[in-house]
Amino acid sequence: MASATIGTGTGASASVNTPAATGSGELGAPLYIAWQVTNECNLACLHCIEESGPGKAFHDELSDEQVFAVLKQTLDLDVPYLSFSGGEPMVHPRFFDMVEYVCARNGQLKIETNGHYLEPENCARLKELGVKAVQVSLDGATRETFNRMRVRGDFDRAVQGIRNLRAAGVPIEINFSPTRFNVHEIGAAVDLAAELGAYSFYTGRTMYTGNAVKTWHRMAPSEAQYDDFFKVLHGKTEEYRGRMRVHFHEMGLLEELRYRLQHPAALLIVLPNGLVKLINALPFICGDLRRQTLGEIWGRFQQAWQDPRVAKFVDDLAADPRATSTLHQWVYL
């Protein structure tokens, strides 16, 4: 993990890290809340880790009153950074009210969307409200690969949505999930992101969970494909240095989780029904915002990571990497 120092140390000094690498231990509140505001989605992507899709909203998603109570707690605790994802967050009936609430209280908010609702008027509103960034999933550099992966999705509509963001002046991030049939387009996808005006590009290994469990046999890239994929990304990182940040996780899931066991990130994952997960890649629930305050959940977050079932799950994952297929069978700590 990157680390550096500003200040020379004996007087005013600071150490720098990423949110994911910032230990949660001594912090009074999370630094980042990643909120899946609904499981409903207009698309039904082959690789969706949340198994989202049309008609897939949870039956017990938070009520409007609960949603705004949680937002209030989040901002009262001075959590500096939130993201709204899903499902597709823009299909939530109170989406813009939620965005407005966060931005009005100076929260830094990122929207993670499939880009299908980014009409000019919506982009103008996101700009006006002051979102920090909109991250659009663009799993391919061509219509053929994108549409194959994003069932019900339309490459042209997503690309037009990104162009609308750019025209409105909203900061753009692009996310790319690799599969056997789009992995060769990674270089072109990075180039396309830059052409569309993105300032960040994110990718990493596609996870064996959610819809990917059913489609893995025809979707998972080979290790040789991943080798080429990361080689291209290293090159693109240099090519775009100073113009667009190319960010990718080469680390496998197991290494990542072993690191997390020792260094839980200052991050809470909030599910559409208010349950709070330790981390997306584990099935463990460490709180319920319908019954507990955010402060209470944060207060026992460190302890929850020390539960022996968490370490055992990670050990079991070493023996059977496909254990991630059970991530949606929640385990309450």
Nearer to another protein, 8 or 329 (CB): 8
H/E run at residue 111: strand 108-113
One character per residue 34-73, x = contact with another protein (rule: CB under 8 A)? ----------------------------------------
Nearer to another protein, 73 or 324 (CB): 73
Does 172 bind another protein (CB under 8 A)? Our answer is: no
The DSSP line for 174-219 is EEE---TTTGGGHHHHHHHHHHTT-SEEEEEPPPSSTHHHHHHHHH
| Subset of residues 109 to 128 that bind another protein, contact rule: CB under 8 A | 110
H/E run at residue 226: helix 223-239
Give the residue ranges of DSSP H helices in 92-198: 95-104, 120-129, 143-149, 155-168, 186-195
Do residues 105 and 75 touch, judged by C-beta distance below 8 A?
yes
Does 167 bind another protein (CB under 8 A)? Our answer is: no
Give the SS3 label for residue 228: helix
Does 8 bind another protein (CB under 8 A)? Our answer is: yes
- The distance of closest approach from Cβ of residue 221 to another protein in the complex, given in angstroms and rounded to an integer, is 26
Binder among 11, 55, 242, 308 for another protein (CB under 8 A): 11
d(CA 21, CA 262): 11
Binder among 157, 163, 245, 249 for another protein (CB under 8 A): 245
User: 10 Å Cβ neighbour count for 108?
Assistant: 16
d(CA 93, CA 208): 30
Nearer to another protein, 20 or 196 (CB): 20
Q: For residue 20, what is the DSSP state?
A: G
| Subset of residues 199 to 218 that bind another protein, contact rule: CB under 8 A | 199
Nearer to another protein, 17 or 42 (CB): 17
One character per residue 262-301, x = contact with another protein (rule: CB under 8 A)? ----x-----------------------------------
Question: First-to-last CA distance in the chain?
Answer: 28
Distance of CA 294 to CAs 121, 281, 313, Å? 34, 21, 25
Which tokens is 1 given? 């993990």
Nearer to another protein, 27 or 251 (CB): 27
Does 170 bind another protein (CB under 8 A)? Our answer is: no
Does 242 bind another protein (CB under 8 A)? Our answer is: no
Does 197 bind another protein (CB under 8 A)? Our answer is: no
Does 12 bind another protein (CB under 8 A)? Our answer is: yes
Q: For residue 69, what is the DSSP state?
A: H
H/E run at residue 6: strand 4-6
Nearer to another protein, 67 or 133 (CB): 133
One character per residue 71-110, x = contact with another protein (rule: CB under 8 A)? -------x-xx------------------------x-x-x
Q: Which amino acid is at 149?
A: M
- The distance of closest approach from Cβ of residue 182 to another protein in the complex, given in angstroms and rounded to an integer, is 25
Given the rule CB under 8 A, which residues bind another protein? 6-19, 22, 26-29, 31, 78, 80-81, 106, 108, 110, 132-133, 171, 199, 245, 266
